[in-house]
């Protein structure tokens, strides 16, 4: 299929931009059965949907002779969830309709509202804006939607997730019932269906995203780590992939702030996006990513919505998404417009079953991988370094003169070694992760040295709570302020775990456990740890006499902690 059925001014604009044939979503909205109808389109971000709805609304904008009438009140309205996306849509529509002389007005937060009102007063064919600013202009009488012919909701699911339902309803209620309504959404959950039912008539459902909720151009991976190693796993993933642009997702602005500071300290070129950042700070961060002055963006879900970074090839879920929809939205920042991308979930050991269930429900086939080791990273560094240094380069006379002076002072081998050292010095150091086999090796005959005299302790988590030595060990070290070498045998039962501590360390361990229980009552501090009398068998008899254990609290997600001494 080609663009031959389009008005000449659109066909010429597309040809100049190098469009030879439509993408699947563009072809779908140009089909004869879609002409003039309301559309509910599911398409992933980056699939060419901006041009798609730009082409779809052409019949409502052009007159009988195929041109645009003089600009008065808007004939088309496009609503987008964020400022960045609205500005991007506006730029796309400007070049698409430039040969027809279309006037496009943009109304977004963070811009001069009085200037926007003047632009609206002077007339516009198309208005593009965010829900809050459009509603403000509407209520002030600056935006007249009485003659609107087509309304477009771009990334409608994200707008509902961000709480814009009331704004959208007020805006759409101010438009004529005869308007055409085009809704574009990556997913079509029940709230979107309800919105479509209220504001669309006989809508044609178009789906180019496929039934697989994971994007076809995204490779999903997951790795299980000890909760204390989440941050170190992030560092090693960034170093292993060395992505041109990477995005790291956290659940809260506090964790964004902490992780961003930690990466900057290690030498990564990183920016942060969260609700606490002003529009000016947000603009600076986005410009740094586009200029390649920064390669890593740490963000919350809401702050990252609507962002378009064409070179984004790696998404890391530092804190797990709350559901499959959030997983898709986050991961959809990469793998756009035919490019390949990788989305990686960092899974604390206790939450692996929950993540596996979420992936099954989302029909996403994720590959479970091991956390990258420093040796894995060094191996990749060597390959990248050789490829970089062996690339052909252009040199001038001054370069050759300086090279000759160097060769007169040092051997070629020394100069090459110094060059390698200079390249490596710019790279942040990889992190050592906890031994994945720690705590699970079989006991030798007789007690370990130093464990001839021990005190047994009980904690109220067991196999039913996904208890595993790989995350219990660092938890005990944090709660009891002891080292791994001071924890002996660990015996995990259905509802409890028993472990031994040398008697010489048992007193300060018990004191520290009581003190740390007060600092995090909703997280690790809620896990009860107490000494037991006698051997594990005697402790089991005590537990049976005490009756069934109380209901356990839910597992808590990763939360930022002060960095360990380096």
Is 425 domain-assigned?
no
pLDDT band at 338 (very low <50, low <70, confident <90, very high): low
Whether the pLDDT of residue 439 is over 50: the answer is no
Tell me if 123 sits within 8 A of 71, measured CB to CB: yes
Residue 189 lies in a domain: yes
In the prediction, which pLDDT does 297 show?
A: 94
Domain boundary among 149, 175, 207: 207
Tell me the pLDDT band of 104, cut-offs 50, 70 and 90. Answer: very high
Q: How far apart are CA 366 and CA 323, in angstroms?
A: 15
How sure is the predictor about 68, in pLDDT bands with cuts at 50, 70 and 90? Answer: confident
pLDDT at 7 over 90: no
Any idea which of 117-131, 148-162, 206-220, 227-241 has the lowest mean pLDDT? Answer: 206-220
Pair (261, 368) in one structural domain? yes
Percent of the chain with pLDDT over 70: 87
Q: What range does the domain containing 534 cover?
A: 454-546
Phi, psi of 416 (to 5 degrees): -65, -40
pLDDT of residue 212: 41
In degrees and rounded to multiples of 5, residue 368 shows phi and psi of -85, 120
Residue 103 scores a pLDDT above 90: yes
Structure tokens belonging to residue 421 = 């050292």
Average pLDDT of span 14-27: 86
* Rounded (to 5) percent helix, strand, coil in the chain: 45, 15, 40
Q: Are residues 124 and 189 in the same domain?
A: yes
Is there a single domain that holds both residue 153 and residue 35?
yes
Q: Among the listed ranges 302-311, 327-336, 369-378, 416-425, which one has the minimum average pLDDT value?
A: 302-311
CA dist., res. 42 & res. 203, Å (int):
13
Mean pLDDT, range 234-252, rounded to an integer = 93
Q: Is the pLDDT of residue 399 over 90?
A: no
* 481-502 pLDDT, tens digit each: 888 888 988 898 888 999 999 9
| pLDDT of 554 | 46
Residues 158 and 225 in one domain: no
Confidence band of 332 (pLDDT split at 50, 70, 90): confident
CA torsion, ordered 539, 541, 542, 546, to nearest 10 deg: 140
CA–CA dist 52, 304 (Å, integer): 23
Q: Is residue 404 domain-resident?
A: no
Helices (H), 45-164: 49-56, 58-61, 83-96, 113-121, 131-139, 156-161
* Predicted model pTM: 0.58
Question: In this predicted structure, what is the pLDDT of residue 42?
Answer: 86
Tell me: do 202 and 292 sit in the same domain. no
pLDDT of 526: 82
204-225 tens-digit pLDDT = 998 875 444 445 578 999 999 8
Question: How many whole angstroms separate alpha carbon 225 and alpha carbon 401?
Answer: 52
| Final residue before a domain boundary, out of 344, 375, 406 | 375
**Structure tokens that stand for 510 in this block:** 């018990």
Instruction: List pLDDT tens digits, range 364-393.
Output: 899 999 989 999 998 988 888 888 778 887
CATH of the domain at 250: 3.40.50.300
Per-residue pLDDT band for 463 (boundaries 50, 70, 90) equals: confident
Mark whether 364 and 489 lie in a shared domain: no
- Confidence label for 66 from pLDDT (cuts 50, 70 and 90): low
Indicate whether 185 and 298 sit together in one domain. no
* Whole-number pLDDT of residue 256: 93
Q: Is 565 within a domain?
A: no
Residue 235 predicted with pLDDT over 70: yes
pLDDT in tens, 87-96: 889 999 999 9
Question: Do residues 283 and 331 share a domain?
Answer: yes
Whether 86 is in a domain gets the answer yes
Query: Given a cut of 70, is residue 547 above it in pLDDT?
Result: no
Give yes or no: residues 190 and 263 share one domain. Answer: no
* Structure-block tokens of residue 319: 């804190």
Q: Give residue 524's pLDDT.
A: 75
Three-state SS string across 424-472, please? HHCCCCCCCCCCCCCCCCCCCCCCCCCCCCEEEEEECCCHHHCCCHHHH
- For residue 385, CA distances in Å to 50, 187, 417 come to 39, 41, 12
Residues 80 and 331: their CA atoms lie apart, in Å, by 19
3-state secondary structure of 389: helix
Contact 25, 49 (CB under 8 A): yes
Domain contains 435: no
The CATH number linked to 537 is 3.30.70.250
Element (H, E) at 247: strand 245-249
Q: 501: which residues sit within 8 A by CB, 6+ positions away?
A: 454, 455, 457, 480, 482, 486, 487, 488, 509
Do 66 and 148 lie in a common domain? yes
Residue 263 lies in a domain: yes
Total domains in the chain come to: 3
Q: Give the Cα separation of 531 and 103 in Å (integer).
A: 76
Tokens found for residue 314? 């790696």
Mean pLDDT for the chain?
84
DSSP secondary structure, 146-203, as one string: TT--EEEEETHHHHHHTT-HHHHHHHHHTS-TT-EEEEEES---HHHHHHHHHH-SSP
Q: Is residue 444 part of a domain?
A: no
- On whether both 314 and 255 belong to a single domain, the answer is yes
Using the predicted structure, report yes or no on whether residue 176 has a pLDDT greater than 80: yes
Structural domain ending residue among the three candidates 146, 180, 207: 207
Q: Between these two residues, 123 and 329, which has the higher pLDDT value? A: 123
Same-domain pairing of 109 and 152? yes
- Quick: pLDDT tens for 246-265: 999 998 989 999 999 999 98
Q: How far apart are CA 156 and CA 127, in angstroms?
A: 17
Q: According to the model, what pLDDT value does residue 303 have?
A: 72
């Amino acid at each position: 299929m080609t663009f031959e059925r389009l008005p000449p001014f659109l066909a010429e604009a597309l040809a100049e931009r190098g469009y030879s044939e439509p993408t699947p979503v563009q072809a779908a909205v140009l089909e004869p059965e879609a002409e003039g109808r309301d559309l509910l389109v599911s398409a992933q971000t980056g699939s060419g949907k901006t041009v798609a709805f730009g082409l779809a609304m052409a019949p409502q904008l052009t007159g009988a002779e195929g041109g645009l009438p003089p600009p008065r009140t808007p004939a088309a309205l496009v609503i987008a969830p964020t400022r960045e996306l609205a500005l991007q849509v506006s730029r796309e529509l400007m070049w698409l309709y430039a040969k027809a002389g279309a006037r496009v007005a943009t109304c977004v937060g963070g811009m001069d509202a009085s200037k926007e009102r003047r632009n609206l007063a002077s007339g516009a064919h198309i208005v593009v804006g965010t829900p809050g600013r459009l509603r403000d202009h509407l209520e002030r009488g600056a935006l007249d939607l009485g003659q609107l012919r087509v309304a477009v909701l771009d990334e409608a699911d994200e707008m509902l997730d961000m709480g814009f339902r009331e704004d959208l309803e007020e805006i759409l209620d101010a438009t004529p019932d005869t308007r055409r309504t085009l809704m574009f959404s990556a997913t079509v959950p029940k709230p979107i269906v309800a919105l479509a039912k209220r504001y669309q008539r006989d809508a044609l459902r178009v789906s180019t995203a496929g039934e697989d909720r994971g994007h076809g151009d995204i490779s999903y991976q997951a790795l299980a780590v000890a909760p204390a190693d989440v941050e170190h796993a992030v560092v090693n993933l960034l170093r292993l992939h060395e992505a041109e642009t990477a995005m790291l997702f956290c659940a809260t602005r506090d964790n964004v702030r902490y992780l961003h500071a930690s990466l900057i300290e290690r030498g990564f070129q990183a920016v942060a996006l969260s609700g606490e950042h002003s529009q000016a700070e947000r603009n600076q961060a986005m410009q740094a990513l586009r200029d390649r002055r920064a390669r890593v963006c740490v963000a919350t879900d809401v702050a990252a919505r609507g962002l378009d970074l064409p070179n984004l090839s790696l998404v890391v879920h530092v804190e797990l998404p709350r559901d499959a929809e959030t997983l898709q939205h986050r991961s959809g920042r990469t793998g756009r417009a035919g490019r390949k991308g990788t989305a990686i979930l960092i899974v604390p050991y206790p939450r692996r079953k929950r993540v596996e269930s979420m992936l099954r429900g989302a029909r996403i086939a994720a590959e479970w991988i091991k956390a990258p080791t420093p040796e894995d990273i060094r191996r990749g560094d060597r390959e990248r370094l050789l490829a970089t240094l062996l690339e052909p380069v252009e040199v001038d006379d001054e370069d050759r003169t300086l090279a000759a002076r160097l060769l007169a002072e040092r051997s070629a081998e020394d100069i090459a070694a110094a060059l390698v050292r200079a390249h490596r010095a710019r790279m942040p150091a990889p992190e050592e992760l906890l031994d994945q086999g720690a705590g699970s090796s079989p006991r030798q005959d007789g007690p370990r040295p130093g464990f001839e005299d021990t005190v047994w302790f009980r904690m109220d988590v067991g196999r039913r709570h996904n208890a595993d030595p790989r995350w219990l060990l660092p938890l005990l070290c944090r709660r009891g302020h002891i080292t791994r070498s001071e924890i002996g045998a660990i015996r995990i039962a259905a509802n409890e775990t028993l472990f031994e501590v040398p008697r010489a360390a048992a007193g300060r361990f018990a004191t520290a456990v009581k003190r740390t229980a007060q600092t995090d009552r909703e997280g690790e501090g809620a896990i009860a740890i107490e000494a037991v009398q006698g051997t594990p068998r005697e402790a089991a008899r005590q537990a049976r006499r005490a009756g069934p254990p109380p209901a356990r609290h839910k597992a808590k997600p990763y939360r930022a902690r002060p960095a360990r001494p380096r």
